[in-house]
Chain A
Amino acid sequence: MSVITRRQWRHHRLVQIALLVLAWLAGEAIVRVSGIGLPGGIVGMALTLLLLATGQIQLGSLRRGAQWFLAEMLLFFVPAVLAVLNHPELFGWLGAKVLAVIVLGTLTVMAVTSVVVDMVLRLTHERATA
């Protein structure tokens, strides 16, 4: 195989998607054999990070496949969302309460996170310039 076709092959999105599926299967296999209580996806991700950091695999050989998976992720979890059909009780007063928890909780999370990040940044910056 010539250098050019090999490079094209590596940069093909479908090949990269297959590569990521392979990394996931490897992660699942590691979990099954070792018995560690982590999802196979996380182990596969750690494995991929290790391969990237040690230069065993180039970012360009994964980037397009990864972008596809992340861009279309909604399609992969939308079937799970339909589980709400099994919970008719949520289409009433209880649902309204859950919605209130989500709205107020999310406002809290956003405020706390951003204020803490800004504060830490200011403190570390001040110390660096002092």
Chain B
Amino acid sequence: MGTLLLTLGWSTITILIYLAAKSFHRLLPRWWTAPLAVTPAVLIALVLLAHEDYSDYIRGTHWLVLLLGPATVAFAVPIFEQRALIRRHWPALLLGMVAGSTAAMLSAWGLATLLGVGGELRLSLLPRSISTPFAMTVSGDIGGVPDLTAVFVVFTGVLGAALGEGMLRWLPLRSSLARGALFGMGAHGAGVAKASQVGREEGAVAGLVMVLVGVMNVLMAPVLALLLR
């Protein structure tokens, strides 16, 4: 296939599947119909059926991934909108994010080692608890495979959003700040959507935590890379 055809073809298919997955989720709103899970699953099936491989697919759709750049810039808006919340609760937010990020890295490293998962795969698992554009950056910095990290981020989001509700019932949490942080730190984008269903304040906190923890991890990545060397 020519490059132009490849780009037009796979880009159109990707966008159409994405839009269809969103409509389907509106019709049947369950955790396993989340577009986050359905879109990649359908696309993988299509690429396999077409007997294409990933290098052809990504050549045609790479421009979409580039848009994660301006999407990162867009995170400035929720940060600015929630500046009152940051001023008021920065100690709890900061310590929660430091503890959460540390727990994310240590649990990934420890569990992976325990189960005999090593090398690039283990490194790619470390930043899976932060939002995709940040996670892929960190993964590249510390010697992981950014694309694999994107896969793990998706699984973390889908499973985290599904497990989070049960965690709320199980943990004796008293504040909406803690409930929001649980979803924002544990399941990033998918968690924010779930937290917004729990409450407006939970949703705002989750969104803020997701963004701030992403920035924090990117800024800390060079230090982490030194530690891992």
A105 to chain B, nearest CB (A): 4
Interface residues of B in 28-70 (CB under 8 A from A): 35-36, 39-40, 43-44, 47-48, 53-54, 57-58, 61-62, 64-65, 67-70
B147–A42 contact, CB under 8 A? no
Chain B residues with CB below 8 A from A76, complex form: 64-65, 67-68, 71
Is A4 on the interface with B (CB-CB < 8 A)?
no
Is B73 on the interface with A (CB-CB < 8 A)?
yes
Name the one of B36, B76, B97, B148 contacting A48, with C-beta atoms under 8 angstroms: B76
A84–B35 contact, CB under 8 A? no
Chain B residues with CB below 8 A from A115, complex form: 171, 173, 178
Is B89 on the interface with A (CB-CB < 8 A)?
yes
A74–B129 contact, CB under 8 A? no
B185–A110 contact, CB under 8 A? yes
B92–A120 contact, CB under 8 A? yes
Report which residue of A28, A77, A107, A122 has the largest number of chain B beta carbons within 10 angstroms of its beta carbon.
A77
A-B interface pairs (CB < 8 A), number: 286
Name the one of B80, B150, B152, B218 contacting A98, with C-beta atoms under 8 angstroms: B152
Bin chain A's interface residue count.
Answer: 35 or more
Given A110-B164, A122-B174: A94 touches B117 (CB 8 Å cut-off): yes
B100–A113 contact, CB under 8 A? yes
A49–B47 contact, CB under 8 A? no
Name the one of B74, B95, B164 contacting A65, with C-beta atoms under 8 angstroms: B74
B92–A74 contact, CB under 8 A? no
Chain B residues with CB below 8 A from A69, complex form: 67, 70-71, 73-74
Bin chain B's interface residue count.
Answer: 35 or more
Residue of B whose beta carbon sits closest to that of A26: B73
| A40-B69, A73-B133, A111-B171 known, 11 other contacts, Cβ within 8 Å | A24-B69, A39-B72, A45-B72, A69-B71, A74-B35, A75-B14, A78-B18, A98-B112, A98-B117, A108-B104, A116-B92
B-binding residues in A (CB < 8 A): 17, 20-21, 23-24, 27-28, 37-42, 44-46, 48-49, 52-53, 59, 62-63, 65-67, 69-70, 73-87, 90, 94, 97-118, 120-122, 124
26 contacts between A and B (CB under 8 A): A20-B70, A38-B219, A41-B68, A41-B72, A42-B72, A44-B70, A45-B73, A52-B77, A66-B75, A67-B77, A69-B67, A69-B73, A74-B36, A77-B153, A80-B136, A80-B147, A83-B148, A84-B148, A97-B112, A98-B117, A102-B125, A104-B107, A109-B186, A110-B164, A112-B103, A117-B175
